[in-house]
Chains A and B, each alone.
Chain A
Amino acid sequence: MRTRPHFSAEDLLARLQARCTTALAALSLGLALGSAAQAETVLVSNEKGNSITILDGDSLKVLHTVPVGQRPRGIVLSKDRKFLYICASDDDQIDVLDLDNLQLNAPLPSGHDPETFALHPDGEHLYVSNEDSSLVSIVDIATRQVVGEIAVGVEPEGMAVSPDGKWIVNTSETTNMAHFLDNATHTVVANVLVDSRPRHAEWTSDGKEVWVSSEIGGTVSVIDGATHRIIHKISFAVPGIPKQAIQAVGIVLTRDRKLAFVALGPSNRVAVIDARTYGVIKYLLVGQRVWNLAFNSDESRLFTTNGVSDDISVIDVRKLRVIKSVTVGDQPWGVVVRP
């Protein structure tokens, strides 16, 4: 007959504490391994280098430089963040980079000369601007087919999908318009005239506004997402810098809609804007010809691509200060952060 060992209350408490300590240690180790495995990486497309530079989001060290197709510009992460879609403009295709093994998978079709694109919130469709053919191509990722084409203005460029996935905005550089497309019917429902050479469109996180930058006009038009009317136009003036050098390009907005950041091209400045009053708070000096922008996942850092100085600038969002620049490849263009 087996007898149960006898433990006093003190013994039981000591054993329980020991188990808890072991469990907490294991949990800590697991968390540590987990955070190491899930460290953020910054991905940059190098337009002339024909490569993607991958940096560690914390140490900002370059981890890998991966050769990809010709003239990579727009880049976007897949919904599950396992793949990077890359507009290989001169190859007329979308490269698909597996971010776990850094191998290129079979490319997706894109239409002619893809420059930028946007991923639908469903993660299944890409909306691609085909610069030379005045079209927006809709790519079904699973079937690898172009499932629709929508005629827009001359030289389409900026692409943005509304947070609810119902509306697509495309900008056309030569027609100087932001085109609002109904995603259900694939038709243009409104054309909004903005300043010269609109480059980038960005929805606010609540879907109420679309911000459109104009490179030559040097302005940002804030458009009501429902009425399609311009409700504000933001201009920029940096002391000591000629107006023609202030060229608005990339835009990002914080999720809480408090701040916006606008890349101002060869003025080498990023404008910080109060997104509620539309007033410019300050200008940050970054690298040369600042083009596109991306936050890290908690929006504590902002990364900028600088096409002439071949580097990225890192901005501390809370302090609104540039904290570092890191050399990447030849003519950096697009940037995303993989959580």
Chain B
Amino acid sequence: MMRHRHLALAILCLLPRLAVAAPPGADPGWPCRQPLVTSVSAAMIWDGPPLDHIGDWRSEPAVSALVAKLASEDVSIDAGKAAIARFLRSRLANRRRSISRAFAGLLEESNQARMRAIDDIEMLGQRQRSLADVIAGLTAEKDKAGASAAPDLVERWNFARQTYYQAQRTILYACEMPAGLDQRLGVFARELRAGLP
């Protein structure tokens, strides 16, 4: 997923920066077919104890170490599950609170990653709309010139269109990023939940 994200950003940098108006709709600037959900709340996936009075998850070294590991995109889901299993086997002074803290930290980190992903996707969408405007301008220019269109104009028109379609595929990948984060969060949340006394 990270590779796709870097690829998406690399293609973004090749696209021209132009100011464009947001398209009409409920979520201006959101280019994905999947409806925009900006954050995941605990209630969406957690039916464990309430998280209101558990204190700061960062205050417990074992919890913060686990959360740091789970938040790393370089750690596979299986490796994350193994880390949770080790955490659950360790001696925890207040098991219920520690597990709840671990989930709270995991949720916070996942939502931060989600916000970054959404920012990237919205930027991709904005660049894509800019490119569409460029293509529209080039198409009008080419149509006006007709058969006498300069080879340079035709080449720019072709290049812009190819870039547009390549970027469109990148957007499709990028739009899967929030669901990927959700899946990871869900797996880890279920592992933690199963460890509750």
Q: Which of B23-63 contact A (CB under 8 A)?
A: 26, 35-45, 47
Chain B nearest CB from A136 CB (Å) reads 21
* Chain A min CB distance to B106 (Å): 15
Q: Which A residues are CB-close (under 8 A) to B40?
A: 245
Whether B39 lies near A247 (C-beta < 8 A) is no
Residue pair A268, B44 in contact (C-beta under 8 Å): yes
Number of residue pairs A-B, CB distance < 8 angstroms: 51
Nearest-Cβ distance from residue A306 to partner chain B, whole angstroms: 9
Given known A196-B26, A266-B37, contact A245–B44 (CB-CB < 8 A): yes
Contacts A241-B43, A288-B186, A308-B186; A216 near B179 (Cβ below 8 A): no
- Give Cα A244 to B27, complex, Å: 10
Residue with the greatest number of chain A CB neighbours at <10 A, chosen from B37, B41, B179: B37
Specify which chain B residues have a CB less than 8 angstroms from the CB of A289 in the assembled complex.
179, 182
Of the A-B pairs whose beta carbons lie under 8 Å apart in the complex, a sample of 10, sorted by A's number, is A240-B44, A242-B39, A244-B37, A245-B37, A265-B35, A268-B44, A268-B45, A308-B182, A308-B183, A309-B187
What is the CA–CA distance of A194 and B14 in the complex, to the nearest angstrom? 41
By DSSP majority rule, is chain A's interface helix, strand, loop, or mixed? loop
Contacts of A309 in B (CB 8 A): 183, 186-187
- For the A-B complex with A242-B37, A289-B179 known, give 10 more contacts whose Cβ atoms are closer than 8 Å: A197-B35, A238-B43, A239-B43, A240-B44, A241-B43, A244-B37, A244-B38, A288-B45, A308-B186, A309-B186
> 0/1 per residue, B176-187, Cβ < 8 Å to A?
000100110011
Give A219 Cβ to nearest chain B Cβ, in Å. Answer: 13
Of B35, B41, B182, the contact of A216 (CB 8 Å cutoff): B35
State whether the Cβ of A157 lies closer than 8 Å to any Cβ in chain B: no
Complex Cα distance A240/B45, Å? 11
Instruction: Collect the chain B residues with CB atoms within 8 Å of residue A245's CB.
Output: 37, 40-41, 44
Complex CA distance for A197 and B36, rounded to whole angstroms: 13
Closest to B45 in A: A268
When distances are taken between beta carbons in the complex, the residues of chain A under 8 Å from B45 are 268, 288
Shortest beta-carbon distance from B75 to chain A in Å: 19
Closest B residue to A322 by CB, please name it.
B47
Kindly state the separation between the CA atoms of A285 and B41 in the bound complex, as whole angstroms.
Answer: 13
Q: Is the CB of A308 within 8 A of B179?
A: yes
Contact partners of A267 in chain B: CB under 8 A: 44
Chain A 41-80 residues near chain B, CB threshold 8 A? none
Asked if A288 meets B182 with Cβ closer than 8 Å, knowing A238-B43, A241-B43, A241-B44, the reply is yes
Q: Give every chain B residue within 8 A of A238 (Cβ-Cβ).
A: 43
Where the two chains meet, the residues of A that have a C-beta atom closer than 8 Å to any C-beta of B are 196-197, 215-216, 238-242, 244-245, 247, 265-268, 285, 287-289, 307-310
With A and B bound together, what is the CA distance between A244 and B183 in angstroms? Answer: 18
Is A247 within 8 A of B35, CB to CB?
Answer: yes
Tell me, in angstroms, the Cα distance from A241 to B26 when the chains sit together.
19
Residue in chain B with minimal CB distance to A269: B44
Complex Cα spacing A216 to B38, Å: 14
Which residues of A are found within 8 Å of B186, using beta-carbon distances?
Answer: 287-288, 308-309
The distance from the CB of A82 to the nearest CB of chain B, in whole angstroms, is: 35
**Measured CA separation A110–B178 after assembly (Å):** 32
List residues of chain B with CB within 8 A of the CB of A197: 35
**Chain A residues, Cβ within 8 Å of B182:** 266, 288-289, 308
Query: Chain B contacts of A287 at CB under 8 A?
Result: 186
Task: Give me the 9 closest cross-chain CB pairs, A-B, nearest first.
Answer: A240-B43, A288-B186, A245-B37, A241-B43, A308-B183, A308-B182, A309-B186, A216-B35, A244-B37
